Structures are given as structure tokens and as C-alpha cells.
Amino acid sequence: MLATEFKEAITAADRVLVQIRTAIVEGEIPAGTKISEPELARRYDLSRAPLREALARLERCHLIERTPNAGARVVKLSIEGLRSLYQLREELEGLACRLAAEHMTEQEIAEVRALLDQHLSTQRVREGESYYQEAGDVDFHYRVILGSKNPYLINILSDELYFLVRMYRVQLGMNGPRVSRAFDEHKAIINAIANRDGELADLLMRRHIAASKRNIEQQLLQQGTSHG
């Protein structure tokens, strides 16, 4: 829904979707929690009808898992889940890069470059605040995905998979030297796209995502061994 979230009328189901989704992604509702419809309805002050609509969409982006007559649980983060997710993400964002190199206008490319410069400057000011890095990164990837001009690809990546990706990143964090390296990798990717070199952009994106995966993987391993 991210792509179409601000078009047209906004309904109560849309509002509560954004609220619950944010709560799950940021860990306010912890991973693995049982979802109680009556409780959430009270908490967000609405009836169960729009709430269930929101839950259906949360299931769609793999943030919750429902079993008929038994209710829903917030998804748990795991190494296998991370690997499956990023395996797919590498492939799809690689494809997005090839298509973006073909379809993005010079205008759009210039906008992404401006965006990167802007992110770099705000990052220098806000050194260490991982939220800005997170937001900037999502923004960059989002632009490239849109640049593919393939509606199904855009839908899958930005409306379905990306909230789960963000959940892994927000809850397990981006640490150390990766934060600054990511900027350079973004620059290299947009340069390849600007040169209409789809193959290179694809390769660079895959490596970029693989590096990000290794980073999160380590966090997961550390966390798993420290109190397991």
C-alpha cells in the first residue's frame, strides 16, 4: 500500500494499519506476540471490522501469521527467515536495477543523486543516529524500485517485502562501518544506472544487499548465542 497510500480517501482501516504496522516494525509490539482482536480494537478505539481489514493486509506483508479460528501472531525473526527474505530481495532488486537502467529518466536519476547528497549531509550532522540512515536507505531503494516501472515488481518489493526488511533492520540494527559504506555503494549503483549499465547495477545491488544481510545475520547470531 505504500505506493498508493496517500491517494484517494483515507479510511479508518488505513489509519490503524499504519499504526499497527509501525508498532510491529519498531518492536513496540514484540515479535511472536499473540494478536488479540478485542484488545487491539479497544486500544486503537475502533470496531473489529476495520481492524480485521488491517490484519489481512499485515498478513499480506508477512508481519503477522494467521491460522483460521485460532488468531494471529506477530512473526518471529530468524536466521532462516532472513536468508529466505534476502535471497528473494537480492534477485528482485537486482532485476529492479536492470529495469531502472533501462527505464529511468535523466530527471529521475538526477533526483536520486540529489537525494543521496542530501542524505549524506544530514547523516554527517546526525552521526550515529541509525534512524536517519535507515530512512535514507529505504528512500534510495524505493526510488530505484519505482524506476523499474514494473507495477508487479514495485508492489511486491515496496508494499509486501519491505516492511519485513525494515523490521529486521530496525530491531537488529545496522552497526559499525556499514553505515558509511552504504552511501558509497548507493552512489556506485546510481552511477551504473546513469550509464545505462544494467548488468553492473544489478551486480552492485546484489552485493550491497548481501553485505547488509551479513551484517544483520551477525547480530542475530550474537543475540542467539548470548542468551540461548
From its own copies, DNA, none, interface partner of 144 (C-beta below 5 to 8 A by class)? none
Residue 4 within binding range of DNA, rule CB under 7 A? no
Q: Name the residue nearer to its own copies (CB basis): 51 or 179.
A: 51
From its own copies, DNA, none, interface partner of 39 (C-beta below 5 to 8 A by class)? DNA
- In this chain, which of 60, 76, 126, 214 binds its own copies, going by CB under 8 A? 60
Binding mask 10-49 for DNA (x = CB under 7 A): -xxx---------------------xxxxx------xxxx
- For 166-222, list the strands marked E by DSSP: none
Alpha-carbon distance of 98 to 85, in angstroms, equals 20
Give, to the nearest 10 degrees, the angle between helix 130-147 and helix 162-172.
Answer: 160
* The three cell numbers locating residue 142: 524505493
Residues 6+ apart with CB under 8 A from 115: 136, 139, 140, 143
From its own copies, DNA, none, interface partner of 62 (C-beta below 5 to 8 A by class)? its own copies
Binding mask 50-89 for DNA (x = CB under 7 A): x-xx------------x-xxxxx-----------------
From DNA, its own copies, none, interface partner of 47 (C-beta below 5 to 8 A by class)? DNA
Alpha-carbon distance of 97 to 197, in angstroms, equals 9
Min separation Cβ 14 and its own copies, Å: 8
Longest dimension (CA), the chain: 54
Alpha-carbon distance of 47 to 58, in angstroms, equals 17
148 and 95 in contact (C-beta within 8 Å)?
yes
Task: Categorise residue 92: left if φ over 0, alpha if ψ from -120 to 50, beta otherwise.
Answer: alpha
Min separation Cβ 60 and its own copies, Å: 5
Binding mask 73-112 for its own copies (x = CB under 8 A): -----------xx-xx--xx--x---x-------------
SS3 category, 34: strand
Sheet with 71-74: strands ordered across? 34-35, 71-74, 64-67
Min separation Cβ 203 and DNA, Å: 43
* The three cell numbers locating residue 143: 526510488
Q: Name the residue nearer to its own copies (CB basis): 61 or 112.
A: 61
Burial class (CB in 10 A: 0-12, 13-18, 19+), 49: exposed
| Contacts with DNA, residue ranges (CB under 7 A) | 8-9, 11-13, 35-39, 46-50, 52-53, 66, 68-72
Residues that bind its own copies (CB under 8 A): 8-11, 14, 49, 52-53, 56-57, 60, 62, 67-70, 84-85, 87-88, 91-92, 95, 99, 150-153, 155-156, 160-161
